[in-house]
């Protein structure tokens, strides 16, 4: 493992541990309002200051990080499973099925990702409970983010379909589901892992975009998207630099993911 990879791994472990220890590091929680200290600068009691309604920014960053870092992998798991099912099966079956699946995939891929997300998000009610909004946002990412992975998996499964060991298994009388799950799927594992890991930073960034546009996680629940929305109120870049800390953390985490899983990206390509 190179030095950069080790560093990225250490950063990710540190951030994940800090976010998991949020209730211990910030026991007052993300929603408690300090009405006497609204929009306060960093101090000994509030390390990153408070927001405009007096909530501790450090606590919100920790809890927001926890939400993004736990649910982005969950969404990646859903999208990878769907990609394996749709792309893998289409590639394995080949013929009309592969053409049909890829036509649907191409249709999805032709839509800009953010357009697709906001169009589908708009179909759901916007005034929902914070917990529902968190689940809806990440479920949406998982259910819509399978397309590019499905394309890769379809090609990989297609190349496996005509491989010698599959022909041999078929000659031995193995058919249908058993052939797919026992002989084809295990050989798609490297591609599946790659797709899973490269989906995580994409989903983290997508949640942030939706949050800033007001279509993501609902208040008072924090997420990187809702934390970054605070930048909207700034008048100049030099003013209140501590408000840029969630952005800095997001960039560091996404960069760490990209450094750590750049090899996986090559496998996916």
Instruction: Give the footprint of other proteins on this chain (CB under 8 A).
Output: 103, 106-107, 110-116, 118-119, 121-123, 125-126, 201, 205, 208-209, 212-215, 225, 228, 231-232, 234-237, 247, 250-251, 254-255, 258
95 or 237, CB closer to other proteins? Answer: 237
CB atoms within 10 A of CB 124: 14
Shortest CB 166 distance to other proteins, Å:
30
Q: Least separation, in Å, of the C-beta of 240 and other proteins? A: 11
Q: Tell the smallest beta-carbon distance from residue 173 to other proteins (Å).
A: 40
Q: What are phi and psi of 185, to 5 degrees?
A: -55, -45
Instruction: Kindly report the length of the chain.
Output: 269
The whole-angstrom separation of Cα 118 and Cα 123 is 9
Judge contact between 130 and 221, C-beta under 8 A.
yes
Output the smallest distance, CB 259 to other proteins, in A: 9
Task: Give the angle subtended at the CA of 223 by the CAs of 67 and 144, to the nearest 5°.
Answer: 75
Q: How far is the CB of 185 from other proteins (least distance, A)?
A: 29
Residue placing its CB nearer to other proteins in the complex, 157 or 227: 227
Alpha carbon distance 106, 186 (integer Å)? 26
* Token pair recorded at residue 102: 């890829």
CB-count exposure of residue 127 (10 Å: 0-12, 13-18, 19+):
exposed
178: exposed, middle or buried (C-beta count within 10 Å: 0-12, 13-18, 19+)? Answer: exposed
Q: Which is nearer to other proteins, 187 or 262 (CB)?
A: 262
37 vs 254, beta carbon nearer other proteins? 254
Closest approach of Cβ 30 to other proteins, in Å? 21
Smallest separation, CB 116 to other proteins (Å): 8
Locate 209 and state its tokens: 């975009």
**Helix/strand/coil for 103:** helix
Instruction: Provide the Cα torsion 224, 226, 227, 232; round to 10°.
Output: 130
Q: What share of the chain is helix, strand, coil (3-state, %, to 5)?
A: 75, 0, 25
For other proteins, the closer of residues 21 and 111 by Cβ is 111
In terms of CB distance, is 28 or 209 closer to other proteins? 209
Toward other proteins, which CB reaches closer, 169 or 231?
231
């Amino acid at each position: 493992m190179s030095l950069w990879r080790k560093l990225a791994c250490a950063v990710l472990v540190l951030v994940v541990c800090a976010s998991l220890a949020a209730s211990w590091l910030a026991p007052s929680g993300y929603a408690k309002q300090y009405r006497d200290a609204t929009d306060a600068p960093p101090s000994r009691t509030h390390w990153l200051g408070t927001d405009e309604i007096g909530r501790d920014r450090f606590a919100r960053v920790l809890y927001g990080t926890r939400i993004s870092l736990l649910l982005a992998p969950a969404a990646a798991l859903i999208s990878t499973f769907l990609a394996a099912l749709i792309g893998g099966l289409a590639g394995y079956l080949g013929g009309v099925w592969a053409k049909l699946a890829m036509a649907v995939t191409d249709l999805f891929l032709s839509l800009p990702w953010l357009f697709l997300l906001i169009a589908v998000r708009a179909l759901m009610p916007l005034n929902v409970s914070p917990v529902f909004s968190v689940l809806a946002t990440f479920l949406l990412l998982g259910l819509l983010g399978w397309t590019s992975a499905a394309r890769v998996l379809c090609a990989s499964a297609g190349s496996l379909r005509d491989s010698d060991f599959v022909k041999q298994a078929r000659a031995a009388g193995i058919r249908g589901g058993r052939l797919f799950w026992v002989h084809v799927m295990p050989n798609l594992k490297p591609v599946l892992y790659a797709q899973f890991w490269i989906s995580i930073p994409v989903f983290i960034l997508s949640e942030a975009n939706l949050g800033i546009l007001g279509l993501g996680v609902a208040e008072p629940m924090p997420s990187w998207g809702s934390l970054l929305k605070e930048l909207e109120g700034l008048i100049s870049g030099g003013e209140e630099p501590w408000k840029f800390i969630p952005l800095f953390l997001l960039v560091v985490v996404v960069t760490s993911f990209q450094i750590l899983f750049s090899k996986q990206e090559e496998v996916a390509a």
